[in-house]
Amino acid sequence: MPNCARMTAVDEPPLRPRRTGPLGGEGSALLDAGNMLGRATKELLLVTAERLFAHRGLTAVPLRDIGQLAGQRNNGVMQYHFGDRETVIRAIFDLRSRQINSRRLELLGELEAEQRLDDPAALVRILIQPQAEGLLDPDNHYVGFLHRLYVERQTFMLAGPGVDPVDTPSAQSFVRARQHLGRCAPHLEQSVVDARSRMIFGWAIHSLAAHLSSGDRYREAVDVEAMLSELVNMLVPALVAPAATPKATSRRVAAAAAETAVPDEPAWLDAGNTVGRATKELLIVTAERLFAQRGIAAVPLRDIGQVAGQRNNAVMQYHFGDRENLVNAVYDLRGRPINRRRLELLGHLEVREQLRDPAALVRVLIQPHAESLLDPENHFVGFLHRMLAEQGTFRALPSGTASPATRSFELIYQNLLAGMGDIDPVEARGRLTTVFRWAVHTLVFRAQVGPRPTELSDVELLLDELVQLLVPALLAPA
């Protein structure tokens, strides 16, 4: 019988960055082994491209910039070696994923030798350990690249036309680990385990990339090990949590979900000038959509005005001054109704005496964002996802500045802390922030890939499922 009650792994294999050259030891068909000079140039270009894609996005980096930063004088060097952008992206993915697949298979072999293929914590660790090991290599930016791939394309896998990504050689180890995880969760259908495995892998990459974006790149194995252990501790309970039980739509999701009006008006919206106010709101909504679709740094301000139907090329500068003020305006406009909605929901919890219920508090935290998916003009979840990818934070305003949305977040945190007993406040805040990020990550996937909620009952079911997974992660032992 598999010992699937075992939730923490012991004597884990040590972290080991794999570096035998700029891109490690595993080769790719795109690297010409018969021409050492050409191979070295290609590897240098791919390392440079991976770093720039991770920092600035897959579409925002001109191919010419990659060649120049790699020290190449020929402005057409990228086209000469790879042809086009898509081939560069696939070359990076192909090379790194082969290395990761090889490392996972090695780790699976070690688990099999130790007769520990029934340990869900060890298996979850194997899913993400090769990526975590990459943080020890200053020339490895694959975690950031993968995160950008997901943010821009909603996938972590690339395959040729008509090819299922799970059928590619580089996915063998992921599929094998997932199959073993299915045997460790007999209370769940294999299809549920498969979907959850993809989800928690995404959450892990999201968390690793968030730390990289905030400048916390880990240089010591002990630091990466600590983060990896914390991730595994949180992810395993989410993976094996019982399936959410469908419930009838309740009053928890109210008809106010589709509201876009702002009851407490931001000071920068001039209520005395109806035309100016309408123009500002139109520009903000347009900016939010373009930022969510293309990235915050990648969209020229002039494009926003043009898409919004404004003839004046300087209309964005006239109303907002610069990009930072515009980003703050988007955050402020959407943050106020989110704060109001959360406070309303917290009031309902107080009446029902549930202010110490972690599941109820997590639901309040993410419900306004889930409800926003019912509004086709609301792209705030995608905007937040892009902000995290590019800036490593959800906070648009400078540190120490009060934000409408963070007021309700603080109330949720304080009530959660009171209900969690003996827990370090810093750890509790970090975990609450992490599960919120994971929720946003999942909501973006539902918004862009589907199935997107179209009815209040859909939002209710989505919330039930997310809370069922996030609360065990939040409350997992340290």
Contacts for 450 with CB less than 8 Å, ≥ 6 apart: none
* 414-430: average pLDDT: 85
Structural domains present in the chain: 36-240 (1.10.357.10), 255-475 (1.10.357.10)
Mean pLDDT score across all residues of the chain: 84
Report how far apart, in Å, the C-alpha atoms of 126 and of each of 100, 228, 342, 397 are: 10, 10, 37, 37
166-175 long-range contacts (CB < 8 A, ≥24 apart) are 168/97, 169/98, 169/101, 170/94, 170/97, 170/98, 170/100, 170/101, 171/97, 171/101, 172/101, 172/105, 173/100, 173/101, 173/102, 173/103, 173/104, 173/105, 173/108, 173/126, 174/101, 174/104, 174/127, 174/201
- In this predicted structure, which of 44-48, 385-389, 417-421, 466-470 has the lowest mean pLDDT? 417-421
Phi, psi of 436 (to 5 degrees): -65, -40
Tell me the three state secondary structure of residue 353. Answer: coil
Measured over the CA atoms of residue 439, residue 396, residue 294 and residue 368, the dihedral's sign is: positive
Contacts for 123 with CB less than 8 Å, ≥ 6 apart: 111, 117, 177, 180, 181, 184
Report how far apart, in Å, the C-alpha atoms of 11 and of each of 27, 116, 215, 254 are: 31, 11, 30, 49
Q: Are 467 and 475 in contact (CB under 8 A)?
A: no
Tell me how far apart the alpha carbons of residues 286 and 280 are, in angstroms, rounded to a whole number: 10
Contacts for 337 with CB less than 8 Å, ≥ 6 apart: 259, 260, 261, 262, 263, 368
Tens of pLDDT, residue by residue over 230-289, are 999 999 999 999 988 765 444 444 433 334 333 455 655 554 566 678 899 999 999 999
- The pTM (predicted TM-score) of the whole model is 0.85
**pLDDT exceeds cutoff 60 at 33:** no
**pLDDT exceeds cutoff 80 at 74:** yes
Q: Are 17 and 137 in contact (CB under 8 A)?
A: yes
**pLDDT exceeds cutoff 90 at 14:** no
DSSP codes of every residue in 233-250: HHHHHHHHSPPPPP----
Contacts for 405 with CB less than 8 Å, ≥ 6 apart: 331, 334, 335, 336, 338, 339
**How many other CB atoms sit within 10 Å of the CB of residue 380?**
25
How high is the pLDDT of residue 139? Answer: 87
Tens of pLDDT, residue by residue over 188-205, are 999 999 999 999 999 999
Q: Are 428 and 246 in contact (CB under 8 A)?
A: no
Tens of pLDDT, residue by residue over 299-349, are 999 999 999 999 999 999 999 999 999 999 999 889 889 999 999 999 999
* 374-388: average pLDDT: 92
Count of alpha carbons within 13 angstroms of residue 286, beta-carbon side:
20
Tell me how far apart the alpha carbons of residues 287 and 299 are, in angstroms, rounded to a whole number: 9
Q: Which amino acid is residue 241, in one-letter code? A: A
* 88-96: average pLDDT: 93
Query: In what helix (H) or strand (E) does residue 183 lie, and over which residues does it extend?
Result: helix 172-183
How high is the pLDDT of residue 191? Answer: 94
Tens of pLDDT, residue by residue over 107-151, are 999 999 999 999 999 999 999 999 999 988 888 999 999 999 988
**pLDDT exceeds cutoff 50 at 460:** yes
